[in-house]
Amino acid sequence: MKMKKSHWFLYLSILTVLIYGCSKDENADNTINIFSVQDDIAFGQQMRDEIHSNSADYPLLSETQYAAAYNHIYRIRDSILESGDLKYADKFDWKVDIIEDDEVLNAFCAPGGYICVYTGIIKFLDNEAQFAGVLGHEMAHADRRHSTDQLTKAYGIQLLLGIVLGNNQSQLAQIAADLAAGVAMLAFSRDAENEADEYSVKYLYNTAYDATGVKGFFEKIGGSPQPPEFLSTHPNPDNRFDHIVEVWQTLGGKTGGTFEESYNQFKSSLP
């Protein structure tokens, strides 16, 4: 039997995972990701479809009715994209959905750059730099492809065997459905968290925002009575605050604005 070229590649990938998988330590820069960038986009689109078809769990704010709120996020998102530090700024869609639930302090960005923000987290934060910091952190998870890194760890070999045996279609669909059901979410590793913090600072550094905005968010949730949903998928690495400040100082320690006023306008554009 003649083996397809793609199958050879997959066998090699399995070998690579088997050989290196066990000896590698958890490092977001060195992890093996068996998925293609196109897979990230496909996963994200499927998750977005699930979210759009499940209004009970994901009551989305209408973009036509709340155009002002969406435009605030687009403006902040675009200034992050224009930082020039995102690898997939042009390749991913970076679509935004606002989920109407004031009780949920969460935001996430599905693979391929599909951003979801709960009204709860928008209302919880005090200024636009904090929000931009959180958005930058989420966008970094997508741009650094942390989800499919994690997926490779969680499903890698099993999935590869499925693909090689030629029956992976339903498996891929099932994984995407699982992801959307749990909202993505395999918790990120602490290394991925550090990297997302680091990139949030890098993205914001060349904008008008205080580049350490994400630190303000983590300080604020650290003081909240119940650990919010955010921390269940974004575990706190050690020395998180020191690390954020360190990255900022390495870049030059430039101060930026917090923009309370425009942030209050953003909040008041929500229901």
**What residue ranges bind Zn ion (CB under 5 A)?**
193, 196, 234
Q: How far is the CB of 159 from Zn ion (least distance, A)?
A: 23
Q: 154 or 208, CB closer to Zn ion?
A: 154
Q: 125 or 196, CB closer to Zn ion?
A: 196
Helices (H), the chain: 5-21, 37-52, 67-81, 119-124, 128-143, 146-164, 169-181, 190-205, 213-222, 229-233, 240-251, 260-268
Q: How far is CA 88 from CA 41, 75, 85, 141, 162, in A?
A: 11, 18, 9, 12, 29
Could you give phi then psi for residue 116, rounded to 5 degrees? Answer: -125, 130
> Side chain identity at 29, as an amino acid letter?
D
Q: How far is CA 63 from the centre of its chain?
A: 21
Beta bridge partners of 108: 116
Q: 6 or 232, CB closer to Zn ion?
A: 232
Q: How far is the CB of 146 from Zn ion (least distance, A)?
A: 8
Q: 90 or 238, CB closer to Zn ion?
A: 238
The strands making up 107-110's β-sheet, listed across from edge to edge, are 96-99, 114-118, 107-110
State the Cα–Cα distance between residues 150 and 33, nearest whole angstrom: 8
Beta bridge partners of 96: 115
Q: How far is the CB of 141 from Zn ion (least distance, A)?
A: 6
Q: How far is the CB of 183 from Zn ion (least distance, A)?
A: 13
Q: 215 or 234, CB closer to Zn ion?
A: 234
Q: How far is the CB of 196 from Zn ion (least distance, A)?
A: 4
Q: How far is the CB of 268 from Zn ion (least distance, A)?
A: 28
Q: How far is the CB of 8 from Zn ion (least distance, A)?
A: 36
- Which residue's C-beta sits nearest to Zn ion? 234
Q: 145 or 234, CB closer to Zn ion?
A: 234
HSE at residue 152, side-chain half, CA atoms within 13 A, is 25
DSSP state of 127: S
Q: 143 or 193, CB closer to Zn ion?
A: 193
HSE at residue 2, side-chain half, CA atoms within 13 A, is 2
